[in-house]
Each structure stands twice: as C-alpha cells, then as structure tokens.
Amino acid sequence: MGKYTSDSQELLKHIGGKQNIGAVSHCMTRMRFVLNEPAKADIEAIEAMKAVKGSFTQAGQFQVIIGNNVADFYNDFIAVAGVEGVSKDAVKKAAKNNQNVMQRILAAIAEIFAPLIPAIITGGLILGFRNCIDSLYIFDNGTKALVELSQFWAGLDSFLWLIGEAVFHVGIPVGICWSVTKKMGTTQMLGIILGLTLVSGQLLNAYAVAGTAVADIPKWNFGFIQVNMIGYQAQVIPAILAAFTLVYLEKFFRRITPQVISMIVVPFFSLLLSVMAAHFILGPIGWKIGSAISAVIYAGITGPVRVLFGAIFGFVYAPLVITGLHHMSNAIDLQLIADYGGTMLWPMIALSNIAQGSAVLGMIRLQKKNTQAQEVNVPAAISCYLGVTEPAIFGVNLKYVFPFICGMTGSAIAAVVCTATGVTANAIGVGGIPGILSIQPKYMLWFFVCMVIAIVVPFVLTSIVGSKKLDTEAKNGKEVSESVTLKAVATGKAVTLASLEDGVFSSGMMGDGMAIVPTGDTVYAPCNAKVSVLMEESKHAVGLVLENGVEMLIHVGLDTVNMAGEGFEYLVKLDQSVKAGDALLKFDREKIKAAGHPDTVVVVMTDKPADCDLVLITEGNVTANETNLSK
C-alpha cells in the first residue's frame, strides 16, 4: 500500500470514478485529467482534500495541484484507478474532445494572440503617451496641445509614431501570420513574408481605401482579370485566413513531395499560392467578415441596448480570463479601431482589471492582521491595477469566491456608465489604471468616473460580504515562530512570483516564494536538505525537504517540462542529503530561450510546518550561496 493510496481512492471517487477518466498524466506539480464528463467532478470535495492544494480547468484539462510529491501520488493513483498514464501531449490532444467547434476556434484565436501581447502593450503605451502630448488641449486656455508649444515634443510625437505604426498598422498582420505558423509547426519565415505581402508599400493603404474612388484603386491587370492592389493594414481576419491557408498548403506539399526536392517545391508553391489566395480571394472576404463583426459589436455598444451590452460584458469578462479566451477580444478591438478609429471594448476591459484589483484591496483590509495572506494580496492587487489580473483572480479572489463576484459586479456597473457615455480608446494593450492613457482625450473625465466606480464598488462589497463570510483564522492568520536562514539558489535578479506569466506560480496556489531571473546556469541548495523529488524525464525541477521541515520546489523556467530534459542535467540523486551550496542541477539558458520559454528560476515553499514563519526576498540582485534568500 502506497503513501497516497487512501488519498488516491478519495480523489478517484470525487472525479467520478475510473469510467470518467479519458486520460491522465502529471507535470512537476499537477495531476492532469481529461474527464469524459467534467460535470461529474466534485470540485468542492476535491479541494477539501488535505493532499490537494487547489484545482482548475484549462483548455479541456482538469488539473489538480498536488505539489512536490505529485510523482508518488500519480503512481499510487494509477495503481488504485487501474488506468495507464499517457504523455502530456496525449492529454492535450484528448482534451480537445471536451471542446466544441466554437471553443476550439476561440482557443486557437487566443493562442494566436498570446505571443503578440507584449508588442500590443508597448504600442498601446506609446499611442497613449502620444494622446497626452498631441491631443490634450490644456494650454493657452484650452486651445493648444503640448506639441504646439515645443519643437522637442513635436519631434518626439512624430518619432513615436514610427513604433506605433509598426505595431498596429504593420505588425498585427505580420505578427498574426508568424504566430499561426509557429503554433502549427510550419515554417515561420514564410509566415512573416506572407504577412509582409499584406502590408506592402506597393499596395493602397487600407486606411486610404474608403476615401479612394473605385476607378482610382490600383490594380494588377492579368488581361483576363483585374485584382485590386489593396493593403490589409491592421486587419485581423484576412491575416488569419491567409496564414492558415499557408499552413495547410505547406503541410500538403510536404506530404506529397519527394524529400530530394522538398526544399525547393514546398516553400515555393506554399508561399506563391497562399499569397495569391490572400489577395485574390481571402483578403476581400476576410475584410467583409471583419467589417460585419465590428459593425455588429459597434451597434451593440452604441445602439439602444448599449447599457445592457455593457453590463453583460463587464460582468462576464473576468470569467473569460479564467478560460484564457479573453485574448480573443483583441481581434475585435483591433477590428473596431481599423473600422471606426477607436474601440469601446478596451475601456471596459481595463475597468474589469481595476475591479478585480479593488476586490483584492477589500481583502487586504479584511486580512490586515494576516501577514501570510498579505504576501499574496498586496502584489496581486498592484499587478491587477497595472492590468495583469491572473495573480488576483487565481491567487485571491477565486480562493474565496465572493471577492471574484464582487469584482464582477463592480465591473458591470462601471461598464454601464462607460457605454452610456461612449468612452472610446484609441489603442489597446494598456490595462488597469494606466488604461486611461489609451482613452481619447474627450472621454478621459468620464473614464476617470468609471475608474472610481470600479475601485469603490468592489472594495465596499468585498468588505461588507467578507466581514460576515471570513472566519477569524482567515482574517488574522496564525502566530508562528522564526525559521532558518536560506542562501540564494542561483545568481541573478530577485522578482516576485506575481510578476511571472504563469497562472499557477504567480497566483500563489503552489505556495509562497520568489523567483530569480538568472545570469548563471546552476541551481544550488539553499541550506541543508534532502532531495525529495526529481523529474527523470524533464530534469527541470528539484523538490527538497529543508532541515526545518519546509518542503521546497525549485523549478527552472516556465513550461520547460515540454523540453523533455533537453538542456537540463541533474547533479544529485533522489533521497540524497545535500548541504547548503551543493549544486543541484545545471541548465542551458540558450536552449530554454530557443524553445520559447522564460528561464526564470522559481523558488516555492509548497508546504510549511505550522510553527515556521519563513518569508523570502522578492527584489534586488542576489548571488548564489552568498545572498540571504530569507528575510
């Protein structure tokens, strides 16, 4: 009988029995299930189990967070359940069975836009700053903007447009084509070239089409047919259609072409035919579809039911973040900007960020004496106010549920005022409180009013509801004693878990801790400890039991489990006793980055004894085996 046999039996019962398991696997910290009937899982009972630290559903997978001992738990579970485990890729593939066609389409769109978010945020910040210097008429009795008073600001305004145009006019179609080819595993350079053909300077700029007579639009004349030479700057759907056409053409030609001539035939015919399809057929059709979608959304936001539209969107946006499908709104925002010169969706998204942060602010007030809770609450609220909601949603609000609902309610009320007053943004990417920079100047005052609503309502509601729902322990925490001092496990820059782009570590679900952006390539033991967990296939993480009883996970990179051990080397063995400063594992930073993953070293205390009050630093430069990691 294994250590986790009884827990495994209990988990098997709560997920609906063996017959409800479509596939099961595990990573460093989580059991990953594909359930035949997800509704049969008793989530409340599962999360009440002592061995379980939390659960969530993402991309069709039901994931149960176990912690460092997940490998042992997994072995006991498959023995109890009488099922065979499969690879993580197989689980992902099976998970698609839990998604209908629309969910798969939306998930694909979300995955396409996720890599583009950093560029979109940068472009949004730049256009927001340009708003302030060229469109805010606050000088000379409200008749002049800053650019009219100084040549420096005028020159800076002109220079910054170089980046803004590159992101939103040129970068979006090119980035989409690149992202699709990357996602589908085909030649990314062909995707970039395809995107460039959509925004070539030889074509009539998309923004000039509406003001150009049909007879004056340049054309390719093939004798028997003429095709309009129109660009697709800032257009989303034409780029998506063209990119997927390229992907499937390349896969088709790879399949039918002999290997000896594939280097010539496959890229030539794939690119040529996809560019022809993009400009002759897909571009015009995609333009019409995009315009139709934006027209419907625009009518909803500006029409007689705009207040109802705002209330619904404001209420449901935060739940979309949980699914990861919130990125799909970027496509609609960009289409609205292209067609109408602004978007009314993005202001409501920024307000939803603020509302969830304000719900956490209410929790900060309620748990002001609970120092352990505040370590998660405070950074989560700050990141939320800056537009990153995952730490607040996963780490705080969903944990207690009522703050999440209070945040959704405040967001809905703010969105009603937002749509009623017609608040419009020039750009997207800047969320939370800085989102005001993207708002058209004439609407900034109304957006400020909406921000006040999004701050006050969730805060008040959370405070009122929480004063009745939270028990004394949740509010005040427990008195604990001092712990041991730890040394830095790697050399680099210390950062907070909340700053990571990971819904599990950043939310605090795995436990308290910190992260290090490394400059070296080795991870060391922070103190005397025993190696409790190793991942023999991926070699990307080490589990330790420290001399004070704390269970610690040291995880190199994010999503590096997918590298299957490439670039990682263990320097210790399972159950080995190590001393402070002993090398645990080496990793190749270049291989991690080449695989598209951050190389951040995550340090998480997955389990602490009740009498241990160990807190890790979260800022400043650290040196392995020298800098104190504990406060």
Is the pLDDT assigned to residue 326 strictly greater than 70?
Answer: no
Confidence band, pLDDT 50/70/90 cuts, at residue 481 = very low
User: Is the residue at 295 inside a domain?
Assistant: yes
Q: How far is CA 327 from CA 208, 282, 310, 330, 451, in A?
A: 28, 23, 18, 6, 22
Mapped onto helix, strand or coil, the DSSP state of residue 16 is coil
Evaluate whether residue 45 is within a structural domain.
Answer: yes
Q: Are residues 587 and 618 in the same domain?
A: yes
Three-state DSSP at 57 gives strand
Q: What is the pLDDT of residue 394?
A: 66
Residue 499's CATH number: 2.70.70.10
What pLDDT band is residue 115 in, cutting at 50, 70 and 90? confident
What's the pLDDT at 68?
67
Residue 377: its pLDDT value, please?
Answer: 83
Q: What is the pLDDT of residues 348-387, one digit of tens each?
A: 999 999 999 999 999 999 988 777 678 778 887 887 887 7
Find the catalytic residue in 27, 177, 384, 418.
Answer: 27
User: Residue 67 domain-assigned?
Assistant: yes
> Quick one: CA dihedral 575, 577, 580, 581, positive or negative?
negative
Q: Quick one: how far is CA 599 from the chain centroid?
A: 17
Q: How far apart are CA 537 and CA 28, in angstroms?
A: 11
Answer for the pair 67, 55: CB distance below 8 angstroms, yes or no. no
Residues 365 and 454 in one domain: yes
Same domain as 465, residue 365: yes
Cα–Cα dist 351/233, whole Å: 28
pLDDT range class, residue 611, cuts 50, 70, 90: low
186 DSSP 8-state letter? S
- For residues 71 and 14, the model is more confident at 14
pLDDT at 139: 84
**Residue closest to 447 by CA, chosen among 337, 347, 342:** 347
Residue finishing a domain among 418, 449, 476? 476
Does the annotation count 450 as an active-site position? no
211 in the same domain as 87: no
pLDDT of res. 479: 42
Condensed to tens digits (0 to 9), the pLDDT of residues 379-426 reads 878 878 877 676 677 668 877 889 999 999 999 999 999 999 999 988
Clarify whether residues 253 and 297 are in a common domain. Answer: yes
Report the pLDDT averaged over residues 533-548. Answer: 86
Band (pLDDT 50/70/90 cuts) for residue 301 is confident
- Domain residues for 217? 150-302
The domain total for the chain is: 4
Lowest pLDDT segment from 167-171, 202-206, 364-368, 422-426: 167-171
User: From the CB of residue 223, how many other CB atoms can be counted at a distance below 10 Å?
Assistant: 5
For residues 446-469, average pLDDT: 94
161 and 202 part of one domain: yes
For the ranges 152-156, 196-200, 430-434, which has the lowest average pLDDT? 430-434
Q: Where are the beta strands (DSSP E) in 133-277?
A: 219-221, 226-228
Greater pLDDT, 303 or 108 = 303
Angle at alpha carbon of residue 343, lines to 342 and 345, rounded to 5°: 170
**Which of 451, 476, 501 finishes a domain?**
476
Contact (Cβ atoms closer than 8 angstroms) between residue 492 and residue 596: no
Is residue 316 included in any domain, yes or no? Answer: no
Provide, rounded to the nearest whole percent, the portion of the chain with pLDDT above 90. 37
**156 to each of 23, 136, 162, how far by Cα in Å?**
56, 15, 10
Residue type, 365: R
Vertex 119 angle, CA 113 and 121, to 5°: 90
Last residue of one domain, picked from the residues 34, 68, 99 = 99
Over residues 155-180, mean pLDDT: 89
Q: Is 334 a residue whose pLDDT tops 50?
A: yes
Q: What is the pLDDT of residue 488?
A: 92
Q: Is the pLDDT of residue 626 over 50?
A: yes
Residue 256 CB neighbour total at 10 angstroms: 9
Per-residue confidence (pLDDT) for residue 482, from 0 to 100: 42
Asked if residue 122 belongs to a domain, the reply is no
230 φ, ψ (degrees, to nearest 5): -115, 135
Name the token pair of 285: 């059709």
Helices (H), 138-171: 151-165
Task: Please check whether residue 514 is in contact with residue 496, taking contact to mean a CB–CB distance below 8 angstroms.
Answer: yes
